[in-house]
């Protein structure tokens, strides 16, 4: 968190790579999030306000500060009705749709990456953390967005079966739609479709079978 003084005064979220963490992979993921967010302009997606490089050569970007609560916690703590939960979820879907229209797949949609903040007492969900985003447009895939090959990208409990495979080239917007389905299930029932503790214990082949 930092204070911006020019051209306007406001609190912002400053993301910068820590000393010693600036490996090629970390920098690529960092730049992926910066590029993905810079391409989008939607009320349900945290905005990038500025970007650059420090005097020591470390990249950074400044983004909208979202003082929010994970959407599942917000709904449960506020004892929200099904209608209100669905209303928040629809707003999240609009944000994801905007990302897809810009050629961006989030790949890690889950409650902790959807924060709900209140603006004038109105709850507004904001999608954050595009650090593992993938481009659907060929001109972006190899240049601006970091795609890990040979690694599982995302969170098992929310990822689609094809996303859990090592070849990330098969991933498209439907993987985000699957994750949205898991999120909706959790918002409406209070639990995941699959037992998360079991997923953490099982080998990858068994997880894919489940």
pLDDT at 48: 82
- Distance separating alpha carbons of residues 177 and 100, to the nearest angstrom: 10
CA distance 191 to 210: 17
Peptide bond into 130 cis (omega under 30): no
Task: State how far the Cα of 109 lies from the Cα of 58, in Å rounded to an integer.
Answer: 28
* Structure tokens, 43: 């009320």
Rounded to two decimals, the pTM is 0.78
Residues belonging to the chain:
210
The predicted structure's pLDDT at residue 196: 60
Question: Of 50, 108, 121, 170, which is the active-site residue?
Answer: 108
Helix (H, G, I), strand (E, B) or coil at 197: helix
Q: pLDDT tens digits for the chain (210 residues)?
A: 556 556 666 678 888 877 777 777 777 777 777 777 788 899 999 888 888 888 887 888 888 888 899 999 999 999 999 999 999 999 999 999 999 999 888 989 999 999 999 989 999 999 998 766 666 554 443 333 334 444 555 677 898 888 777 556 668 899 999 999 999 999 999 999 876 655 555 555 655 555
Within 10 Å of residue 197's Cβ, how many Cβ atoms?
10
- Which residues does residue 19 pair with via DSSP β-bridges, in sequence order? none
What's the pLDDT score for residue 70?
97
Q: Are 60 and 14 in contact (CB under 8 A)?
A: yes
Tell me the C-alpha distance between 110 and 96, whole Å.
Answer: 12
Active site annotation includes 108: yes
Structure tokens of 16?
């910068």
What is the predicted pLDDT for the residue at 150? 44
């Amino acid at each position: 968190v930092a204070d911006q003084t020019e051209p306007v005064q406001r609190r912002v979220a400053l993301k910068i790579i820590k000393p010693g963490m600036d490996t090629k992979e970390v920098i690529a993921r960092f730049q992926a999030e910066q590029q993905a967010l810079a391409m989008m302009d939607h009320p349900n997606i945290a905005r990038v306000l500025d970007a650059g490089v420090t005097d020591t050569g470390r990249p950074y970007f400044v983004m909208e500060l979202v003082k929010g609560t994970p959407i599942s916690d917000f709904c449960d703590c506020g004892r929200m009705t099904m209608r209100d939960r669905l209303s928040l979820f629809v707003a999240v879907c609009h944000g994801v749709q905007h990302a897809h229209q810009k050629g961006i797949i989030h790949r890690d949609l889950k409650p902790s990456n959807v924060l709900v903040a209140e603006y004038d007492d109105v709850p507004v969900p904001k999608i954050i953390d595009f650090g593992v985003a993938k481009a659907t447009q060929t001109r972006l895939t190899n240049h601006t967005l970091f795609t890990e090959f040979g690694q599982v990208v995302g969170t098992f409990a929310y990822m689609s079966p094809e996303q859990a495979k090592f070849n990330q080239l098969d991933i498209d917007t439907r993987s985000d739609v699957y994750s949205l389905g898991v999120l909706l299930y959790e918002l409406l029932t209070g639990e995941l479709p699959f037992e998360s503790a079991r997923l953490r214990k099982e080998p990858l082949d068994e997880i894919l079978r489940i």
